[in-house]
Amino acid sequence: MFYNARWYDPYLKRFAQADTIVPPGAQGLDRYLYALNSPIQYKDPSGHCQQRTNRTMVTFTSEGQDWTQQEMDVVCQQIYNVAIAEAKMINSRNYLLWRMGEIDSYRPIGPSTALYTIHNGPIEAVRSNETPGWAAYTRSENEIVFYNIRTPDGTIITNYVANHPRLVTHEMGHAVINAFGINEATDINIPSDLLRPLMGDSSIDHLNDINGAVDPNEPFFGYAGGFEDYQFGYIGSRWREEFADMFVGWVYHFGDTPMGAQRNAFMQLTMVNLVDLIP
């Protein structure tokens, strides 16, 4: 499955852009132009993005809503953790190939190199001032936009991202898929018994508690942790969201429920095979 030759087609990488569609909503193009015309560039605020490396892992831009320090710190931490997981993935694979005599030398890479290799550079974190009804959207292999989340009376929840850090890692799961130019539904066969049950419609609906009211009929599924800790799949492709949620578990090695252990075992194999797609 993972060795399907067409995955090596460099043109396939172009299809990664399929996930870059501007989310529905007014002023989508205007919003984008705002960022292009009036970018507010933030520098690595906490040092997390440059920890043990001299390369920036995250750049911050604003589309009408300023980043808070806490938000930036959390985004940096999460992406740094993803980069470490990606480096381990690449290094363990290359080490094995070297031990098997398939490559001549082995030199481990660090997290920033892994991030740049897979995502073609740093991650651009965009803070939007819109309220589309979801918290974040991954536009490409290296661009994630974060939206306002509001209370029922319309107040913007301050530091929503900072208080839901795994959301960033979930979005990085989408970014990885975009980077490899693959389709979760057709290229990654998640066994059906590892999928979270649907709640009566064809779109996945893990997270109907975006304003804090947890649906008691939707028990935690797969990984430990509560809603908005390890489950962010909201509306859209079932497989896309399942993969992104399982990616969170893969990065943090969460598998302390029977289903979580099964999902983690599946992800270990999946991610190792994805390494072969790196040019």
Neighbours of 97 (CB within 10 A): 14
* Segment near Zn ion (CB under 5 A); pick from 222-230, 237-245, 252-260, 262-270: 237-245
Which segment (158-166, 215-223, 235-243, 268-276) binds Zn ion by CB under 5 A? 235-243
At a CB cut-off of 8 Å and minimum separation 6, what does 92 contact?
272
CB of 170 within 8 A of CB of 206? no
Of residues 31-60, which lie at the interface with Zn ion (CB under 5 A)?
none
The least distance separating Zn ion from the CB of residue 3, rounded to whole angstroms, comes to: 27
How far is it, in rounded angstroms, from Cα 75 to Cα 91? 24
User: Cβ closer to Zn ion: 143 or 241?
Assistant: 241
Residue nearest to Zn ion (CB): 244
DSSP 113-137: HHHHHHHSSPEEEEEE----SSSEE
Report in angstroms how near the CB of residue 40 gets to Zn ion at its nearest.
Answer: 26
Comparing CB distances to Zn ion, the nearer of 175 and 244 is 244
Supply the minimum distance, in Å, between the C-beta of residue 193 and Zn ion.
Answer: 21
- Straight-line distance from the first to the last Cα atom of the chain, in angstroms, rounded to the nearest whole number: 18
* Least distance from Zn ion to the Cβ atom of residue 231, Å: 10
Q: Shortest Cβ distance from residue 168 to Zn ion (Å)? A: 11
Q: Where are the alpha helices (DSSP H) in 190-237?
A: none
Is residue 244 a contact point for Zn ion (CB under 5 A)?
yes
Q: Which chain residues interact with Zn ion by CB under 5 A?
A: 241, 244
